[in-house]
Amino acid sequence: YKEYTKEYCEKYSCYCSLNKALEDD
């Protein structure tokens, strides 16, 4: 999941922040 998010972050930086918030929670 983290690996997927990392790749997604490169294409959608906005989405990256959203996912990071979920991971922190």
Residue type, 12: Y
pTM metric for this prediction? 0.25
pLDDT at 23 over 60: yes
Q: Which residues, 6 or more positions from 19, have their beta carbon under 8 angstroms from its beta carbon?
A: 5, 8, 9
pLDDT tens digits for range 3-19: 777 777 777 766 666 65
